[in-house]
Amino acid sequence: MMKEHGLLRNLMSQPLSVFFDAFRTEDYDNGGEEYLTFSGCRSNLGGGMDFKSGVFTVPLDGAYMFTIHICTHDMKKGLLSLRCNGNELASFYDQNHDSNHKNSMASQSIVADLEKGDRVQIYMYTHTGLMDKKSNLFTHFVGIFLRPKNFMVEPETEMEITNGH
């Protein structure tokens, strides 16, 4: 039993062993200045994504890739940022009121080295509005664990110095 437990722990720390896809099914038109929440998750391997709060808690040290897709609400802009522990990692902006029926799609992707326990969320700035319906899931927040910290790094070995004896 201990052997199987060790094997499972090892597999969980392998690349691509943690991922999620959170989505929304309702419009967001509350004006922004808050963190984005979600209606559900299509997948949540590793259990790090709490879609109701919109918080992904990093389960393992290492490199993660995040992708966010949104559709702006009628006559609203989309100004959002991906934050880790409250600090901005990346932002994206869209305001297209002249074409595409006054809605448009925007996205952002980023790779970041994170530590276990870090909290990753999407923040919406003032006047951000998002369009989503149960039949059209435009908003997605996707995260994928790419590799553990120090993956494929040779451990440093201490060189033995001899004087020929």
Per-residue confidence (pLDDT) for residue 150, from 0 to 100: 84
Q: Write the DSSP symbol of residue 54.
A: T
pLDDT at 31: 84
Pick from 134, 77, 123: which is nearest to 102 by CA? 77
What Rg do the C-alpha atoms of the chain give, in angstroms? 20
User: 35-63: per-residue pLDDT in tens?
Assistant: 999 999 999 999 999 999 999 999 999 99
pLDDT tens-digit map of 80-134 = 999 999 999 999 988 765 654 567 788 999 999 999 999 999 999 998 989 999 9
Start-to-end C-alpha separation, the chain: 49
In angstroms, the Cα distances linking 57 to 32, 62, 70, 116 are: 22, 13, 22, 8
Considering the chain, what is the average pLDDT of its residues?
A: 87
For residue range 154-165, what is the model confidence (pLDDT) as tens digits? Answer: 766 555 656 665
User: What kind of architecture, by CATH, is found in domain 15-148?
Assistant: Sandwich (2.60)
pTM for the structure as a whole = 0.82
Residue-wise pLDDT for 14-42, tens only, equals: 777 899 999 999 999 888 899 999 999 99
